[in-house]
Amino acid sequence: MIAFCLAVLIRTFLLQAFYIPSGSMEDTLIAGDRVLVNKLVYDFREPSRGEVVVFQGPPSWAPEAAIDQDQGMFSRIGRAFGDLVGVTQPGEKDFIKRVIGLPGDVVSCCDEGRVVVNGVPLEEPYVVRDSPLTEIEGGRDCRSREFAEVVVPPGELFVMGDHRQRSQDSRCQGFVPIENVIGRAFLIVWPNDRWAGLSATDAFADVPAPAAIAPAAPEPGASGEVGLVLPLLLPLAVRRAGRAAAGRPGGPFLPARRWPVAPRSPARTRRTHTEPAMRPPHRRLSA
Instruction: Report helix, strand and coil shares of the chain as percent, to nearest 5.
Output: 20, 20, 55
Q: Pick the catalytic residue from 22, 39, 97, 131.
A: 97
As a whole number of angstroms, the distance between CA 98 and CA 247 comes to: 60
24 is known as an active-site residue? yes
- Residue of 58, 33, 55, 29 lying closest to 42 (CA atoms): 55
39 is known as an active-site residue? no
As a whole number of angstroms, the distance between CA 213 and CA 182 comes to: 25
- List the beta strands (DSSP E) in 81-224: 94-101, 106-111, 114-117, 120-121, 147-151, 156-160, 176-177, 181-190, 196-197
Q: Pick the catalytic residue from 22, 24, 167, 170.
A: 24
Say what angle helices 73-85 and 2-13 make with each other, to 10 degrees: 70
Report, as residue numbers or ranges, the catalytic residues. Answer: 24, 97
